[in-house]
Amino acid sequence: MRGVGRVAIIVVVLLGVVATPVSGADGESSGLAPESAVEHRSAYGLPVDAETMARLASSSVDVGSEAWGIPLTAEEQAYLDLRARMHFADSVSQNLLPTLRGLSKYAGAYIDQKANGALVVLTTGDVDGVETQVASLMPAQSRGSRVELAKHTLAELMDAIAGAGAAWSTMFPGVQLQAVALDEQGNRLVLTIAEDAPDLDISRLRSQLRVPLELSRRPPDSDTVCTTRDNCANPLRAGTWIHRSGLPPVGTLPDCTMGYHIVIGTNEHFTTAGHCGFGGDFDWFNRVLGEIGNDGLSLYGDDGQDIMYVSMNDAQRSQYIYACCLDILGYVFPIQGETLCASLGRTNNIRCGVVQSTWVKYKSDTPNPDIFVWGGDLGISAANGDSGSPIYRLNDSNQARAIGLITTEFGEFARLDTSLDNWNANVVK
């Protein structure tokens, strides 16, 4: 199963030195998603022939699944150096992209892992002028960059997204649109429908929205509710179990995963997926502490984000991510094509993938009738109960930038950069 931006996967061949495995204070090993092994390796431009995959099935050969949730030999892991890739993406997102996003003819950006993990900037205007500006802002440890001409600005694509749902309902009233995703690399939108939906001619929709469209198919989304990692407190940390409305018997899978801890004014809270609190005003529990707190504000609703926050005791706050790291530098926006990782609660491992879309509007099936929410798409597989699991970017000092929270089994996620701004909040760091 894949996320909405499936066609927007950027294949990569990464160059670098030996990558340090993702390991945390909890000593947790990271599992492998067998159904995703071929797609994950393909996304990094690695061979996926039958002989290679059979060889990787040997635990003595595969060292990448434990470290990254991606099957890799020791040589491939050293060759890819995923941590250095994330560090470069973090540098450009902090020091370069905010300036470029202010340009009137900015058309997007992505990480081209196939070209040594270089940054690619798109513009509808003067390529040479943008190249000069990019060069002046590029970090010292650059992986390279290039500027390409595009037909549509990012603003035009976002305007098309805003009108896509209504236009679709008018033209195809009998076919459910599951998601609309932004593909910055392709300078287009990707529309997703059910895999058993009838064949459709979307040429008239292209003409109305005035941007390129791609049609994708997949099984319907299922919101992830249920988790694991039960015995963790003092302090609490992102990626651990949370139970709704009381503590069930030991061994019972809880309801959702704890996301990042945040501060609003002088008060501490933790985040999780918004659909976890849908339908009631709930108290939340931890196996060690008992009751943690109760529902706060939620952005979950039609055209909202699938994220909420819950009150918590100030003494339990932390900047820890379970099985990852003990230092969060802040929250940032994702970049299409970059490598991000998630500390999955129910699945109980670290799983990394390539960002397929930074803006996707997708169907959430917790309410009846279904609603549409928006966020990003990492394209990793998750299980029922991983909802709220933290997604992050690592630098070469094993420090994390908070990106978002897993919300569906296909790897769609709520973005922190917009939701926390809405609450005037910041992550605990």
Alpha carbons 326 and 314: distance in angstroms, whole number: 18
User: Measuring CA to CA, how many Å separate 280 from each of 294, 365, 372?
Assistant: 11, 16, 20
| Joined tokens for residue 89 | 């993406």
Residue 7: closest CA among 357, 307, 416: 357
> Is residue 391 a contact partner of residue 382, using CB atoms and an 8 Å limit?
no
Secondary structure of the chain in HEC code, one letter for each residue: CCCCCHHHCCCCCCCCCCCCCCCCCCCCCCCCCHHHHHHHHHHCCCCCCHHHHHHHCCCCCCCHHHHHCCCCCHHHHHHHCHHHHHHHHHHHHHHCHHHHCCCCCEEEEEEEHHHCCEEEEEECCCHHHHHHHHHHHCCCCCCCEEEEECCCCHHHHHHHHHHHHHHHHHHCCCCCEEEEEEECCCCEEEEEEECCCCCCCCHHHHHHHCCCEEEEEECCCCECCCCCCCCCCCCCCECCEEEECCCCCCCCCCCEECCCEEEECCEEEEEECHHHHCCCCCEEEECCCEEEEEEEEECCCCCECCCEEEECCHHHCCCCECCCECCEEEECCCCECCEEEEEECCCCEEEEEECCEEEEEEEECCCCCCEEEEEEECCCCCCCCCCCCEEEEECCCCCEEEEEEECECCCEEEEHHHHHHHHCCEECC
* Residue 45, phi-psi category: left (phi > 0), alpha (psi -120 to 50), beta (remainder): left
| Joined tokens for residue 167 | 């236009």
| Joined tokens for residue 122 | 């798109």
Q: What is the pLDDT along the chain (429 residues), one digit of tens a residue?
A: 333 333 332 222 222 222 222 223 333 333 434 557 888 888 888 898 988 988 898 768 999 988 888 899 999 999 889 999 999 999 999 999 999 999 999 999 999 988 888 999 999 999 999 999 999 999 988 999 999 999 999 999 999 999 999 999 999 998 989 899 999 999 999 999 988 899 999 999 999 999 999 999 887 655 643 345 888 888 899 999 899 988 888 777 778 999 999 999 999 999 999 999 998 889 999 888 889 999 999 999 999 999 999 999 988 899 999 988 888 999 999 999 999 999 999 889 999 999 999 999 999 988 878 899 999 999 999 998 899 999 999 988 889 999 999 999 999 999 999 999 999 999 998
Q: What is the pLDDT of residue 120?
A: 96
| Joined tokens for residue 73 | 């030999």
Q: What is the pLDDT of residue 222?
A: 56
Alpha carbons 37 and 175: distance in angstroms, whole number: 32
> Is residue 343 a contact partner of residue 350, using CB atoms and an 8 Å limit?
yes
Alpha carbons 1 and 83: distance in angstroms, whole number: 26
User: Measuring CA to CA, how many Å separate 319 from each of 60, 228, 322?
Assistant: 34, 20, 10
User: CB neighbours (10 Å) of residue 278?
Assistant: 19
Q: What is the pLDDT of residue 220?
A: 64
Pick one of 3.40.50.11540, 3.30.300.20, 3.40.50.740, 3.40.50.2020 as the CATH number of 154-218. 3.30.300.20
Distance of CA 133 to the CA centre of its chain: 28
Residue carrying the six token digits 């390529």: 127
Partners of 118 in beta bridges:
112
Residue 281, phi then psi, degrees to nearest 5: -115, 100
Residue 21: closest CA among 82, 94, 101: 82
| Joined tokens for residue 367 | 């309410």
b/e string for 308-320 if b means 16 or more Cβ within 10 A?
bbbbbeeebbbbb
Q: What is the pLDDT of residue 221?
A: 58
Geometric angle at alpha carbon 410, from 227 and 191, rounded to 5°: 150
Alpha carbons 391 and 344: distance in angstroms, whole number: 9
